[in-house]
Amino acid sequence: MSINVTRSSMPLFEEYCEEIKDLWDSRWLTNMGAKHKQLQAELEKYLDTAYVALYTNGHLALENVIAAMNLPQGSEVITTPFTFASTTHAIVRSGLVPVFCDINDVDYTIDTTKIEALITDKTSAIIPVHVYGNICNIDEIQQIADKHGLKVIYDAAHAFGVVKNGVNVSNFGDASMFSFHATKVFNTIEGGAVTFADESLMQVLKDMKNFGIRGPEAVAYVGGNAKMSEFQAAMGLCNLRHVDDEIAKRKAVVERYRFHLSNVGGIKICAEQENVKSNYAYFPVVFDGYKYTRDEVFELLKSNEIVARKYFFPLTNSFECYKDYPTAGAEKTPVAQYIADRVLTLPLYADLTLEDVDRICNVILGCCV
């Protein structure tokens, strides 16, 4: 049986049907209906955060929160290239210039010792990524941001439910963006959110997702359309009931991977972060001096009908669309380049059986299968 790198969490068919039943009575399918409002309230509770604004996807949530920060057009934003295309694209599409900072080789988040050297009088913000659900060095980042008067927006697409020292990840920086895409730990089919503590952001975040419409005859803002529909919100309400179970099952999968792959020469896996409650979103493995290269392991798995992912390869600063971009160039972020050339994320989802994990590890270890 083939194994994909991920498999979306879904409630029972009957549970979803029950959840969407009211929509046939209300005939209210989108535009901040009852499901949307309920999911928003439940997420504020689950994420233990002041405000949640829901979006039709994580990318537009990120573009919208960047716009809400009112950063000067053409100003520079410090970020990392070891991320999904969305992070860098959102910065560029917002008329800002991404300045690429390298990552550290422990948890692959932004190397905070390299941030200050990149700050100029044009720098307006830092957009770090909690990559694989690993939390960035939030204290260092905040200190640097405060010293230089910069905004901090976290790409927390991977970090739903992660808690550090009792504080949910949604509370760090000026705002955080979450993705509820089908492949993420918590999904609303497509979907996303911004979390924030500053109440004054609420109006502009609302305006931006609904054409700036404030009343039947009042359009106060040049907004776009990024609303989460009732069907998406209904999926979220169902999935939220099960997300803790899903995370517990992911944990068992990750522990099995660790059991097989810890202490194998040439295979490097991330240590668990201290005082962090993980969501077990991804299981990245770095092949460095192993008997097979990353690409060989990828092919070996593929020939056994197992799909792993070169995540993140290529780096965003080596994308073709940025080849003429002045700040691009993977050689400027050597650690990120090194990891991107060697990393593979292994199949990981709640229903992956431990027997399948054993089989995947046997293939990687070159045992008879």
Q: Between 87 and 168, whose beta carbon lies closer to ligand PLP? A: 87
User: Does residue 84 belong to the site contacting ligand PLP (CB under 6 A)?
Assistant: yes
State yes or no: residue 287 binds ligand PLP (CB under 6 A). Answer: no
From the list 17, 130, 7, the residue with the least C-alpha distance to 79 is 130
**Beta strands, E only, 213-266:** 213-215, 218-219
If binding is defined by CB under 6 A, does position 155 make contact with ligand PLP? yes
Instruction: Give me the phi and psi of 213, to 5 degrees please.
Output: -80, 120
Compute how many residues bind ligand PLP; rule: CB under 6 A.
14
Nearest of 78, 81, 79, 90 to residue 120 by alpha carbon: 78
**Nearer to ligand PLP (CB atom), residue 260 or residue 310:** 310
Q: Which of 46, 30, 31 is nearest to 195 (CA)?
A: 46
282 binds ligand PLP per the rule CB under 6 A: no
* Stretch 50-79 residues interacting with ligand PLP (CB under 6 A): 57-59
For ligand PLP, the binding residue among 87, 112, 188, 210 (CB under 6 A) is 87
Structural contact between residues 369 and 359, judged by C-beta atoms closer than 8 angstroms: yes
Alpha-carbon torsion angle 28, 34, 177, 344, nearest 10? -80
Judged by CB under 6 A, which of 3, 65, 66, 129 binds ligand PLP? 129
- Name every residue whose Cβ is closer than 8 Å to that of residue 96 and which is 6 or more positions away in sequence: 66, 71, 73, 74, 75, 76, 77, 124, 125
Return the number of the residue (58 or 290) whose C-beta is nearest ligand PLP.
58
Q: Which of these segments, 18-26, 32-40, 154-162, 266-274, binds ligand PLP (CB under 6 A)?
A: 154-162
Q: Which one of residues 86, 88, 317, 333 is an interface residue with ligand PLP (CB under 6 A)?
A: 86
Q: Residues interacting with ligand PLP, by CB under 6 A?
A: 57-59, 83-84, 86-87, 129, 155, 157-158, 179, 181, 192
